[in-house]
Amino acid sequence: MKLSSVITATIIAVGLLALGLCVRSGLRTFNWGSQRTVEVRGLATREVKANKVTWPIVFKATGNELPAVYASVTSTNATIVKFLKDNGISDKEISISAPQVTDLRADRYNTQPIPYNYSVQSVVTVSSSQVDKVRELINRQGELLSQGIAILASDYSNQTVYEYTELNSIKPEMIAEATQNARLAAKKFADDSQSELGKIKSARQGQFTIEDRDSYTPYIKEVRVVTSLTYFLED
């Protein structure tokens, strides 16, 4: 056999071997890439009752002599605290903020007559786990009017806030429910596509959210969590 023929045969053999390796590699990539998956989400919700309330009681006193106005504020604070304690609120649940004094004479942009020189705002805050009791007192705060105390309407800085602080106690159960709901959705998809539901490829848990159920019952909260799962589908 001529040397040139041997060289040619060797080159052809090496080429065929390389081609075989490429074909084999291509099949592996195709087989991996051909695995089908389905991504689903599962939702879990709970309605829970707030277990903490913060109630700011805001009032103002006005006058021309600051010492007299301050004395009025001190007396009103004492009356409000007595009202709260007489109705089951403890000392540790009550706090009194430093009074905010406004010198109306210092407002150089005010061109209207000023009926008094000073306005002093005070805030008595109730922070309690007795949510039902505080809600009752909020409805009864008009009783303070008979003692000459006008409670101001809440603004953005002094709103009554209801909170739910026991999220950790319901997290495991809600995660399990969201995961189960996601699996049911994946199983339904697999059945509809005439496939078998395989193993979980990946899983992501969304953040828990706690919001008011509605604007009329802020003391009832809705807790939500969404779990995202990706499953393999098998023929």
Cβ count near 36 (within 10 Å):
13
Residue type, 226: V
Q: Which helix (H) or strand (E) holds 160?
A: none
d(CA 21, CA 98): 82
What does the pLDDT read at residue 34?
Answer: 63
What does the pLDDT read at residue 11?
Answer: 45
What does the pLDDT read at residue 29?
Answer: 22
What does the pLDDT read at residue 110?
Answer: 67
What does the pLDDT read at residue 24?
Answer: 31
pLDDT tens for the chain, 235 residues long, are 444 554 444 444 444 444 343 333 222 222 345 688 999 999 999 999 999 999 999 999 999 999 999 999 999 999 999 999 999 999 999 999 999 999 988 766 766 778 889 999 999 999 999 999 999 999 999 999 999 999 998 888 899 999 999 999 999 999 999 999 999 999 999 999 899 999 999 999 999 999 999 999 999 999 999 999 999 999 8
Residue 200, classed as helix, strand or coil, is strand
d(CA 124, CA 35): 64
d(CA 101, CA 65): 12
What does the pLDDT read at residue 155?
Answer: 81
Q: Token pair 């159920």 is at which residue? A: 213
What does the pLDDT read at residue 35?
Answer: 81
